[in-house]
Structure 1
């Protein structure tokens, strides 16, 4: 067995590979933000190389990195997650070192959790996430009453918001923008900071078309695993990356990755001017159920004022792009119009 770890930093990703004796099994590699395809091809090449000698490759990320799992698993890599309680202290900004991620699986294979496309990054932690969300109900209700959190807009008017998470992610972001342009429909894109850093052209195109660009964290972490300083740094770095590309874009809005929250996380988010944006329509397009299933789920779930959650990032989003014309045409046929989240009647 060979063990690889993938760390994220403020500029990209680092990969380390260990053999069963804990020695480097390949030179360390670094990939700038935006070079996820090169990172994937690097790991696939190592997997083929090790397979020639009868060895398998096990790859480890941590819960602060939700950017890569879908694409890596779809490419054929075996992926695991290491949680904070089995890892050393993280730096102020970034994950633990790639070598440490590989080493935790080497030391104790039972300490890491096997992931799948169906479960996503948080496989095995859904009960904890549900408990955290339940504990956050009073804080979230207070935020909703004070206008600092949105699940939906007004239910009296047939206006809805299309939203897309986890990008920019060429070529799928471009395909989605093509469809939106064709129908002259506005949307809101909740962007991941590392991707925004790498794909300025996509952000510029969103802004030029009149779409809203909002914040979806720097590395798509499970927020309850982060400290106050880490949560705020995730937002601040992402805002900076977006501002460098397109400047300010209206009210500051943030969508927590996975919708994750605790009372503490929500309190930290209310320290600034952030409005938390959640959703009430989820077709689970991230699981790639097929374009027809995505379209059908959106049309069945949507009501006046709905916030519709879809994805342009996190892996192959061809199904989402293929579903989008049917989504738009189906909603138009039902009498709906579309607005950015910051223009949705509330």
Structure 2
């Protein structure tokens, strides 16, 4: 952990309660700002490299009880880990904040200030609902508004929700990583069975853990793009969205030692007709899913496996997670799923290896997730 220069303001006296914390992200990693109830900085802003999130959580936990921790909606991969550590996490939405830069969130001090000035307007996140807490209806509306645009993009080969229903094959996909130790444990299971999968990687995590991506490539898995910081895409401008994708493509290619990914999965499955148009401009193929056991809510390994097995059909794309929080239940569920599907005559393929559906009829099967 490194600390940046402090504010010119006088720090609060020792012993002053520390209720307001802003957590920002930028190209270098994370920044934390801490204010007291009067808006005075209690400590100089602290900076943490992308791979030092555990150090940042320990730093926050050491500030004492009663913190109001504030993130914004472009920072979608930390909340589960923060809440698992016992921290209370709030989301500040754009109307409460200054404009974002081209690449990065609103600054940490502005986020802490939003907590102090507009605490009642923040959304307190729930661990089983994630960063989308309180926005589920809005996400559903975005998705619904995009059905026609998604169907057109699918017919043109620019989007995929599942493969051919006549081919007894299934694609396992993993989002939000890489995150040790869970990504490595997922790779261990896949290696044991000799099966391929597709990993939709977050750029910040790819930059932090390149060895995991190198192993994915070495084992023959497909590596794909899941944005740099897991934002709500409909809240981004066109240049901000393109920057998220481009930076992640570069990080994934560099870390894995392979080509830039051509597959892209939008966080939460969030899309609007405008966003789909912007994504089409990038040349990336949008990948959704038709089986989502919501493993990120940690319902138990047996429940995760049962939800998958009850929903799988020929050509299914299964949405799982290797990052974003504790994924031990996902790891434990994998052998149950794999052995059952193999016994039922399924073949495992990457997303690109799916036999294409001859005549896409729409997109209602594609959903949203963390």
TM range (shorter): over 0.9
Q: Is the 8 A contact 1:213 1:249 kept in 2?
A: no
Specify which of 246, 252, 257 is matched with residue 242 of structure 1. Answer: 252
Mapped to 1, the partners of 2:143 and 2:258 lie a distance apart of 31
Mapped to 1, the partners of 2:261 and 2:72 lie a distance apart of 31
Counterpart secondary structure, 1:81: strand
Pairing 1:283–2:268 present: no
Deviation at 1:333, TM superposition (A): 1.2
Q: Is the 8 A contact 1:67 1:166 kept in 2?
A: yes
Mapped to 2, the partners of 1:155 and 1:32 lie a distance apart of 44
Specify which of 202, 207, 223 is matched with residue 213 of structure 1. Answer: 223
Partner deviation per Cα, 1:65-100 (whole Å, 9 max, x = no partner): 101011111111000000111100111110010010
Specify which of 194, 210, 213 is matched with residue 200 of structure 1. Answer: 210
- Larger mean CA deviation between 200-209 and 23-32 belongs to 23-32
Unmatched segments (≥5 aa) in structure 1: none
Alignment correspondent of 1:255: 265
Q: Is the 8 A contact 2:214 2:257 kept in 1?
A: no
Mapped to 1, the partners of 2:285 and 2:196 lie a distance apart of 20
Alignment correspondent of 1:8: 25
Partner deviation per Cα, 1:96-131 (whole Å, 9 max, x = no partner): 100100111100111210001111101111111111
Deviation at 1:22, TM superposition (A): 0.1
Mapped to 2, the partners of 1:215 and 1:251 lie a distance apart of 6
Partner deviation per Cα, 1:263-315 (whole Å, 9 max, x = no partner): 11000001121100000000000000011110111111100000000000001
Mapped to 1, the partners of 2:344 and 2:25 lie a distance apart of 44
Deviation at 1:249, TM superposition (A): 4.3
Alignment correspondent of 2:360: none
Partner deviation per Cα, 1:3-62 (whole Å, 9 max, x = no partner): 001000012000001100000122311100111111111111112xxx4xxxx1110000
Q: Is the 8 A contact 2:249 2:261 kept in 1?
A: no
Partner deviation per Cα, 1:224-248 (whole Å, 9 max, x = no partner): 1100000010000000001112244
Pairing 1:145–2:160 present: no
Partner deviation per Cα, 1:194-249 (whole Å, 9 max, x = no partner): 00001010000000000000000000000011000000100000000011122444
Counterpart secondary structure, 2:103: coil
Mapped to 2, the partners of 1:249 and 1:323 lie a distance apart of 31
Give 1:101-250 correspondences, 5 Å limit.
Answer: 101-249=111-259
Mapped to 2, the partners of 1:184 and 1:250 lie a distance apart of 24
Mapped to 2, the partners of 1:41 and 1:264 lie a distance apart of 40
Mapped to 2, the partners of 1:273 and 1:27 lie a distance apart of 43
Alignment correspondent of 2:344: 334
Mapped to 1, the partners of 2:77 and 2:174 lie a distance apart of 14
Deviation at 1:328, TM superposition (A): 0.5
Counterpart secondary structure, 1:17: strand
Alignment correspondent of 2:53: 36
Counterpart secondary structure, 1:231: helix
Alignment correspondent of 1:317: 327
Pairing 1:62–2:72 present: yes
Counterpart secondary structure, 1:152: coil
